[in-house]
Amino acid sequence: MSRNDDIEELLDVTGAVNQNANGKSTTNTIGKPMGSKIPRPIGQKAAKRKAQEEISVARSQKTRTASMVQMTAIHERLAKSMEDNNQIDIRYKEFQMLKEIGDVEGSRKCIEEIQQLKASIDGRALL
């Protein structure tokens, strides 16, 4: 007889539903798979605890969502500030060239634009 025949014979004799390779039953005494749980009615304290856990999870998800929205806003402000900094650099180089040429009106315009860009960056930093 092969090992499989022995196992099948044991199944017939014991009436066990499931057996592992060693021929031992994987069912508990009442014939249900081991580890299976019989659902029981929840007590009042357990129901309250479960509800509190669900509320806690919902709050953490809400907080996480709010944090993500805040981070998105921060990233947008940072990107805009970086863009303005690049514009300041460009205007400053333009100002230097106009100053070398002697264009007073053009250099004043560049300085005004630089001041406006710096003010917009500072305004976003306060948010």
DSSP code string of 42-100: PPHHHHHHHHHHHHHHHHHHHHHHHHHHHHHHHHHHHHHHHHHHHHHHHHHHHHHHHHH
Query: What is the pTM for the complete model shown?
Result: 0.43
pLDDT in tens, 86-99: 888 888 899 899 88
pLDDT in tens, 13-56: 544 455 555 666 555 555 555 555 555 566 777 777 888 888 88
Q: Is the model more confident about 59 or about 36?
A: 59
SS (H, E, C) 9-39: HHHHHHCCCCECCCCCECECCCCCECCCCCC
* pLDDT computed for residue 16 by the predictor: 46
Cα separations in angstroms, 120 against 74, 105, 124, 126: 15, 23, 6, 10
Which H helix or E strand runs over 107? helix 104-126
* Lookup result for tokens 């560049």: 110
CA–CA distance, 72 with 66 (Å, rounded to integer): 10
* Lookup result for tokens 């009615």: 41
